[in-house]
Structure 1
Amino acid sequence: MDAVRYRPGELLLAAHRRRGPVLRFGPYTYLLGPEANRFVLGNSDLFRWREAFQSLVPVDGPTSLIVSDGEDHARRRRLVQPALHHRRIDQYLSIMVEHADATLATWRPGQVVDVYRQFRSVIRRGTIHALFGRRLAGDEAFFGEQLQVLLDLVDRLPASVTWARRLRTPGWRRAMAARGRVDERVHAEIDRVRSGVLDEDDHVLATLVRGRDDDGAGLSDEEVRDQVVSLIAAGYETTSAAMAWAVHLMLCTPGSWERARAEVVEVVGDRAPVKEDLRRLTYLNGVVHEALRLCPPAVVVPRWAVEDFTFDGRRIRAGTTVLYSPYVTHRLPEVWPEPLRFRPERWDPARADHRKPGPHEFLPFGGGPHRCVGSVLATTELTVMLARLVVRTSLRSAPGRPRPTSLAAMRPRDGLPALVSAPRPAGHPAR
């Protein structure tokens, strides 16, 4: 099938073909293509993140990783990263399965389900549970409701967020009220852990609260709050969109669902997968990577130029907002053969035509020192959720095509309705 097409990304792609890797539109300069990515990601000293992502501060907070620079970023990242180490993530697999299965058990033949919205809730609940324990996971609906108000605010052009703040519009006031409710709940958990009252599943929260750098310094309560909220929000906002696109692409590609199911049945059956299983799910891993290639979470990614520099013979001035585009790079025929085709097998290292892309050619999670700290958690969660989905049920596409929206976290605007055709009871893998 032809890939999902998103008009803003397609306009950038067409402009890149006509005018080359440097495009200027109003106050923005786009550096497009793999060499532009290599330049931006390899020269992080030329750019700042705080100014580029200032519009996200209402959600993530002023000390979150995405708006941190320099030593502040390095220090905070050192304290956050242990919570998302491979070994820690391996321990989360059973939690992911638990929450996926609980939702799949409610589906019935003939029912039309919104795969995007249902798995958005599943992924949010599973992410909170895995990272912060059952106490906070029990408030998944609360976090979903309150954070959505904040996400709606920042899902606009940065200038709109700035004016909303300056004018204290009704939308801004609603968002700040929602943020206050979220902060109150998160700070209650921080206070509990600091007082020494720990649950056995307080893994990440305890790491953030009690972690110390080499010089003995830890994170302040504000810093812990910002990392908790940004891990929750980013953990489900982008991952749930990628899940929806993966399901859509499989349903629209003849034989893809059946091939994924056959692989999962052969490798895992109906039991909960373990990390060794995930490495053997070659085709399903390809599904995840193809979905992230064709529908990367961010269509464009901003940077703010600290000083003047030259790229491709063009001078870019300090103070310019520079954007690179995973969407454009992931659809270039000189990088990706048949770039608009959904071909999970292209990721199989056993194939003669396999080519591992460079970090400047495949960048759904960014790159360089600011590469998304939750990338391994996201790809693991996607693989586990898809494995449970294909082995537990069969779906058929509902009429119509999903319409993408949002440059920051491309998602299906009106959800992803699908018809449940054959749910499978626990203990009875597909044949």
Structure 2
Amino acid sequence: MTSIAGATGDVYSVPRSRDHTVRYRPAEFLLALYRMFGPVVPVGRGRRGYTYLLGPDANQFVLANSDLFRWRDAFDWLIPVDGATSMLLSDGAEHRQRRRLAQPAMHHRQIAAYLDTMADNADAMIESWRPGQVVDVYQDMRTAIRRTTLHTLFGPRLAADAEFFGTQLQRLLDLCDGLPQTVAGKQRLRTPQWRRAMAARSRVDERIYTEIRRVRQESDTTAANALTALVHGRDEDGERLSDQEVRDQVVTLIVAGYETTSATLGWAVYAMLSTPGVWDTARREVREVLGGRRPAPEDLKRLTYLGSVVQETLRLYPAVTVVGRKVDQDFEYRGRRIRAGASVVISPYVTHRLPELWPDPLRFQPERWQPGNPDYRKPAPHHFLPFGGGPHRCIGATMATTELTVMLARLLARTSLTLPAQRLRAASMISMRPRRGLRAEVSAPSQM
């Protein structure tokens, strides 16, 4: 009987409860606001005010009217990490150009070539574990995912520095892992944390610019990775990205490639181990479909239950709990006038936990994603948006779901884990993750 800590910190035994869902308290507050006041909740006034547009209809309105909003002003607090020209912070033609140049590396045919690298890095981490050892599954697999991201998108030279990037980028992530006003205050006051983060950024930039110069000098412009595409690609007018633009897209793809994916993988392991029967059912499927081999591209669609585990994790634990926009022009929604310069916020977290959309929403139930199940219903895009939507939908969505499936398949095939008693807390600003990691005991030797 495995004991784990619930959302309140109380320790309870897994078989006695079917709801082991960890709540993120600020987003739970938004859920309460939605219940009390409906889909439009204004907070504050004027240009510093926020309007929460909550629920599926609000999602649909915002995603269908992207011309009403700006991204850059809403996400400028991430400039210390991603850079001023990041596609995440871009709008209009600039966003389309930067995204289009990175897109080929994210095509599903290209992602199929990444599967062995994903499995290699998962296996290397699993092989370092020993029976009886308590490991931090979240942090260890985060390391594996970071290595995979660097190798597949940017080549072996940057992948060799995966530990360096992990250490330096963490200082930048820690700086921005708070309210935007807090980040601005640290910058204004030049706090010690700000100075350490800027020193780390300089080290990251130096390494990336060195690699950009190397790729620019290479005659082979056809290498199938994002770095080559960004350096040598041209837009419709024949223009190339500047070194700074390439740097900013590289950092954005590195951080997005491991920060959110590793958070989702941590929650997936937690949900599988804390929900009776899920780990065993997924492992049986992996063994029946794969035997002792690694997943090949054609296997991914056959791992239907494991794929449902991934989807259900993305529903209950969306890495991005809220998404902000800056209003570019006045508009009216549900009888309320929202002025240019204000901010609006939508929430995947709120939408994904509404009982009117998801029966028994706090229950981790992979079966709800399987056709033929009584609760199955293919969700509309504005009902299920773990990767956002519209022109800014996450460019790495397919890569993320593929990597989650491959790495979970290797965990299921090669080890068994149990959860010791621990207090789990959800933290979220850049991504919702287990605040202090996820400890698990390795209870079986590696197999297959």
TM-score (norm 1): 0.96
Q: 1:316 maps to what in 2?
A: 338
Q: 1:98 maps to what in 2?
A: 120
Shift of 1:198: 5.9
Q: 2:10 maps to what in 1?
A: none
Give matches, 1:12-411, under 5 Å. 12-26=30-44, 27-196=49-218, 203-411=225-433
Q: 2:29 maps to what in 1?
A: 11
Q: 2:436 aligns with which of 411, 414, 419?
A: 414
CA distance in 2, matches of 1:390, 1:118: 16
Farther-moved stretch of structure 1 (47-56 vs 342-351): 342-351
Would you say the 8 A contact 1:299–1:408 is kept in 2?
no
Farther-moved stretch of structure 1 (164-173 vs 272-281): 164-173
Give 1:20's aligned amino acid: G
Would you say the 8 A contact 2:131–2:442 is kept in 1?
yes
Would you say the 8 A contact 2:425–2:436 is kept in 1?
yes
Distance 1:146 1:202, change over 3 A: farther
Shift of 1:39: 0.5
Farther-moved stretch of structure 1 (387-396 vs 158-167): 158-167
SS of aligned partner of 1:279? coil
Would you say the 8 A contact 1:132–1:201 is kept in 2?
no
Would you say the 8 A contact 2:179–2:429 is kept in 1?
no
User: What root-mean-square deviation, in Å, do the aligned CA atoms of Structure 1 and Structure 2 show?
Assistant: 1.4
Give 1:128's aligned amino acid: L
Shift of 1:25: 2.3
Deviations 1:299-334 (A, max 9, x none): 111000011111111111111111000000000011
- Structure 1: give runs of 5+ residues left out of the alignment: none
Shift of 1:214: 2.5
Deviations 1:138-188 (A, max 9, x none): 101100000000001111111111122222221111111110000000011
Farther-moved stretch of structure 1 (269-278 vs 232-241): 269-278
- Structure 2: give runs of 5+ residues left out of the alignment: 1-17
SS of aligned partner of 1:216? coil
Farther-moved stretch of structure 1 (206-215 vs 322-331): 206-215
Would you say the 8 A contact 1:298–1:410 is kept in 2?
yes
CA distance in 2, matches of 1:284, 1:199: 37
Shift of 1:400: 2.4
Give 2:227's aligned amino acid: L
Distance 1:198 1:103, change over 3 A: farther
CA distance in 1, matches of 2:222, 2:125: 25
Would you say the 8 A contact 1:133–1:202 is kept in 2?
no
CA distance in 1, matches of 2:445, 2:316: 28
Would you say the 8 A contact 1:298–1:409 is kept in 2?
yes
Shift of 1:88: 0.7
Shift of 1:197: 6.4
CA distance in 2, matches of 1:268, 1:312: 51
Shift of 1:352: 4.9
Identity rate, percent: 63
Farther-moved stretch of structure 1 (126-135 vs 191-200): 191-200
Give 1:263's aligned amino acid: E
Shift of 1:215: 2.1
Would you say the 8 A contact 1:21–1:32 is kept in 2?
yes
CA distance in 1, matches of 2:234, 2:109: 20
Give 2:138's aligned amino acid: Y
Would you say the 8 A contact 1:51–1:304 is kept in 2?
yes
Shift of 1:202: 6.4
Would you say the 8 A contact 2:415–2:446 is kept in 1?
yes
SS of aligned partner of 2:74? coil
Kindly tell me the number of residue pairs found equivalent between the two proteins.
Answer: 426
Q: 2:15 maps to what in 1?
A: none
SS of aligned partner of 1:51? helix
Deviations 1:193-245 (A, max 9, x none): 10116699762211111111232122111111111111001111111000000
CA distance in 1, matches of 2:370, 2:400: 20
Give 1:369's aligned amino acid: P
Distance 1:335 1:248, change over 3 A: same
Would you say the 8 A contact 1:133–1:201 is kept in 2?
no
CA distance in 1, matches of 2:115, 2:416: 22
Distance 1:212 1:200, change over 3 A: closer
Shift of 1:28: 1.4
Shift of 1:401: 3.9
Deviations 1:72-124 (A, max 9, x none): 11111111111111111110000000000011011111110000100110100
Give 1:213's aligned amino acid: D
